[in-house]
Chain A
Amino acid sequence: MSHRTFHHDRHELHGITVVVDTSGPEVWVGRCDDIDAESVILLDAAMHQDGEGGHSKTDWVKQAALYGVWKKHDRVQLPRAQVASVVRLCDVPTT
């Protein structure tokens, strides 16, 4: 089934909650606004630094997949060069 929204000028993940892992220690969760050659734009996003509060990136993302995240940023623009992967949060295993 397609989950595309009616905003056909945007990336197919527009409106979907995604996990954006970076090549650095940060991982982000937010609602994808758009993805292009230059950047990934997230709305209502939260970020975790690997090891922060004793939690790895993987642990934090699993928690996010169970409960969601408390948004810390209305909008962030992440340079594509720093993005290692973008996956839908609903596809993250919680066990």
Chain B
Amino acid sequence: MGTGVEEIGGKKLEEKPSKLLAEADWASIGIQLVAHAVFRARGLAWRTADHAELADGLQPEDLAQEAIRKVLQGKRRWDPERGPLLPFLKGVVDSEVSHLAESKDNELQHRFPDGDDGDEWVDRAEFFAPGNDSAGILPAPIAPLPDAERIKREGFADQRLSTLFTAADGTKELQDVLDTIMTEGEWKPSGIAEHLGVPVPEVNNRLKRLRRLADRQQASPQSAEQAAGR
């Protein structure tokens, strides 16, 4: 197995990563990397009540490009011996999202002392809701909310649930997933799969369908109906 490092004339030339980067199928990588960035951004939006998804007008494509730029500039060092390029780039995107999450938190912390409106509290509370950090990228939680803010947060959650149940309406396999999460408190795909007696990949597919339908429903109820085949 090659080392990716050639010893030539007393100088180490790292030719293998360079060659692989030059010959990479960037169109395919791009589609999968931007899809990953979309997924992470949507995850952040679900947690933060922020429909804009990413701060500062950033788009998922920007995150993907930033990850590629860092690798090609050598700021994030990819070692082919340790794994393929795409998972590495996805990790860099995750890191970018983590930084955005932290800066969003800092922005809210700076805004809060001067703010009369409770929106910052709601955003922040959703953002740091216990157990929302399945990706392990968020900083420590903050103090509990005042009652008024709790009510507002529940109002937002009700809207989310309404969107979800509308998206799942008439599709039993999607409703089964929601029912399992609600009645069993089970969120892991493996646990849901066991409860429903279906394979784990099937549950993963259902969760993706449900999420995408809910996102479509939120963006445009009519297009969601079409996507659901109703």
Binding between chains A and B: no
B residues with a Cβ closer than 8 A to A are: none
